[in-house]
């Protein structure tokens, strides 16, 4: 029956059972639904084209690129130090991780990574782990909100605010910190930073218990998460999924353990894994990661030596202010770095670290000049989001929301 048949008066006035059946068939046609780009549960501008049969998703097609700002192209026009603020804007919930991986990649090319002062390395670890706590708090709050548990959101953002205040103390910025730079840290840590961090980190493990009290025995939460969003492990590996998603499927793969950077091998922490491979296991893995991060922060805080907070290599970092006023060479180096930019030896380096979302890696290519020839960002959200169709196809549409939340993607990280 075509549309015109349905609209004709005979079809509505004189209806036989066969007509009703035919009409039902007509309405059970597959429906195409546009989820996003402004849907609240996509957390940004992601458009997913869903083909539905009733409430079942037949086909899902993620359409990305709405937030593409050409960051990789912009990097090529900046000096090596000017790229740092761009890295903040890639994954705006994990700025410190992005700063850190860029700094490590450039230091690898400069071949100065072994000379990095102990204090810088420990402070980098401390900040990266605070960032993980921050990012997981945002994830848990918004994920729970998507599924219908509203209170968790307020609890999580309370702690996130504390972390942001600490970041503001360090760098003057709450989110776009640009604090970790090639050659060390941007500034000396502010007076009283250790007290602020200690106050937060002593109280934090109890806060994780609070979140769990709200969720772990909540029957709605359990039914919305258990057994939802399952993808076979082999598929996850073939699709290149990283981070808490692969650890929630039973693979204890964490770059902090396997390819330690910034001295992670010296810290005592555990890589949580679960084998259920569903939304629930990803939730449990991240909760445990928050506790482990708190443990790492505490160790870094207890063992933190006094500065220096930068490398003392004139071709890489700006000279000390005092030296600049008294020594001619220091003034020349300052002038060269500010006007020309630092020169990085030709070559290419690939550096991967464990961001809150998975493997974040920068591939930097230098042709020996003061600008990068190419900066490629292998971002975890881009790799993880690819697995959305196999995860949601054939399942209910409501589970799509829960599955998407469990992936914890940031659209800035996907589109760059």
Is 235:390 a contact under the CB 8 Å cutoff?
yes
Residue 172 carries which DSSP code?
A: S
Dist. CA 71–CA 88, nearest whole Å: 11
Residue 341 beta carbon to another protein: minimum distance, rounded to whole angstroms: 17
Is 133:286 a contact under the CB 8 Å cutoff?
no
Closest CA to 122 of 11, 308, 262, 217: 262
Residue 74 beta carbon to another protein: minimum distance, rounded to whole angstroms: 8
Dist. CA 261–CA 353, nearest whole Å: 7
User: Which residue, 105 or 215, has its beta carbon nearer to another protein?
Assistant: 105
User: Which residue, 157 or 363, has its beta carbon nearer to another protein?
Assistant: 363
Residue 104 beta carbon to another protein: minimum distance, rounded to whole angstroms: 12
Is 163:196 a contact under the CB 8 Å cutoff?
no
Residue 44 beta carbon to another protein: minimum distance, rounded to whole angstroms: 15
Residue 97 carries which DSSP code?
A: H
Binding site for another protein (CB under 8 A): 64-65, 68, 70, 72-74, 77, 108-109, 111, 235, 237-241, 251, 253, 257-259, 347-350, 352, 359, 361, 363, 365, 373-374, 376, 378, 382-383, 386-387, 415-416
User: Which residue, 75 or 119, has its beta carbon nearer to another protein?
Assistant: 75
Residue 108 beta carbon to another protein: minimum distance, rounded to whole angstroms: 6
Which residue is listed with tokens 């639904």?
A: 33
Residue 94 beta carbon to another protein: minimum distance, rounded to whole angstroms: 18
Dist. CA 309–CA 189, nearest whole Å: 8
Instruction: List phi, psi (to 5°) of 59.
Output: -145, 140
SS3 363: strand
Strands of the sheet containing 372-378, edge to edge, are 347-355, 358-366, 372-378
Q: Which two tokens stand for residue 146?
A: 């998507």
Dist. CA 280–CA 55, nearest whole Å: 22
Residue 365 beta carbon to another protein: minimum distance, rounded to whole angstroms: 6
Helices within 8-63 (DSSP H only): 9-13, 17-27
Residue 395 beta carbon to another protein: minimum distance, rounded to whole angstroms: 19
For the chain, the first-to-last Cα distance in angstroms comes to 47
User: Which residue, 311 or 387, has its beta carbon nearer to another protein?
Assistant: 387
User: Which residue, 291 or 374, has its beta carbon nearer to another protein?
Assistant: 374
Task: List Cα–Cα distances, 4 to 10, 29, 324, 364, 411, in angstroms.
Answer: 11, 16, 84, 60, 43
CA 125 distance to own-chain centroid: 16
User: Which residue, 193 or 253, has its beta carbon nearer to another protein?
Assistant: 253
User: Which residue, 74 or 173, has its beta carbon nearer to another protein?
Assistant: 74
Residue 410 beta carbon to another protein: minimum distance, rounded to whole angstroms: 16
User: Which residue, 146 or 415, has its beta carbon nearer to another protein?
Assistant: 415
User: Which residue, 194 or 258, has its beta carbon nearer to another protein?
Assistant: 258
Dist. CA 254–CA 357, nearest whole Å: 11
Residue 374 beta carbon to another protein: minimum distance, rounded to whole angstroms: 5
User: Which residue, 190 or 345, has its beta carbon nearer to another protein?
Assistant: 345
């Amino acid at each position: 029956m075509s549309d015109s048949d349905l609209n004709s008066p005979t079809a509505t006035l004189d209806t036989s059972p066969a007509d009703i059946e035919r009409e039902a068939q007509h309405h059970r046609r597959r429906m195409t639904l546009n989820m996003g780009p402004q849907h609240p549960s996509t957390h940004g501008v992601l458009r997913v084209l869903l083909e539905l049969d009733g409430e079942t998703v037949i086909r899902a097609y993620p359409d990305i690129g709405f937030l593409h700002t050409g960051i990789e192209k912009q990097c090529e026009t900046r000096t090596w130090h000017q790229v740092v603020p761009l890295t903040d804007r890639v994954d705006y919930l994990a700025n410190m991780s992005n700063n850190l991986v860029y700094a490590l990649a450039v230091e690898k090319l400069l071949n100065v990574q072994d000379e990095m002062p102990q204090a810088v390395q420990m402070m980098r670890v401390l900040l990266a782990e605070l960032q993980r706590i921050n990012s997981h708090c945002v994830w848990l709050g918004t994920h729970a909100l998507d599924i219908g548990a509203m209170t968790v959101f307020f609890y999580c953002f309370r702690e996130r605010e504390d972390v942001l205040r600490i970041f503001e103390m360090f760098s003057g910025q709450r989110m776009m910190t640009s604090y970790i730079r090639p050659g060390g840290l941007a500034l000396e840590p502010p007076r009283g930073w250790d007290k602020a961090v200690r106050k937060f980190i002593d109280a934090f493990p109890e806060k994780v218990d609070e979140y769990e009290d709200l969720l772990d025995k909540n029957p709605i939460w359990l039914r919305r998460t258990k057994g939802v969003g399952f993808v076979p492990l082999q598929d996850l590996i073939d699709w290149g999924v990283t981070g808490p998603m692969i650890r929630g499927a039973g693979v204890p793969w964490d770059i902090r353990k396997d390819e330690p950077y910034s001295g992670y091998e010296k810290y005592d922490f555990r890589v949580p894994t679960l084998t259920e491979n569903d939304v629930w296991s990803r939730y449990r893995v991240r909760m445990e990661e928050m506790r482990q991060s708190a443990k790492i922060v505490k160790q870094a805080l207890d063992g933190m030596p006094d500065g220096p907070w930068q490398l003392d290599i004139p071709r890489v970092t700006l000279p000390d202010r005092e030296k600049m006023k008294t020594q001619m060479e220091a003034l020349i180096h300052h002038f060269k770095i500010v006007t020309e930019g630092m020169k990085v030896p030709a070559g290419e380096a690939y550096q991967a670290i464990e961001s809150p979302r998975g493997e974040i890696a920068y591939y930097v290519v230098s042709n020996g000049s003061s600008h990068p020839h190419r900066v490629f960002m292998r971002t975890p959200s881009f790799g993880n989001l690819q697995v959305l169709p196999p995860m949601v196809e054939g399942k209910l549409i409501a589970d799509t929301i829960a599955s998407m939340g469990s992936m914890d993607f940031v659209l800035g990280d996907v589109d760059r």
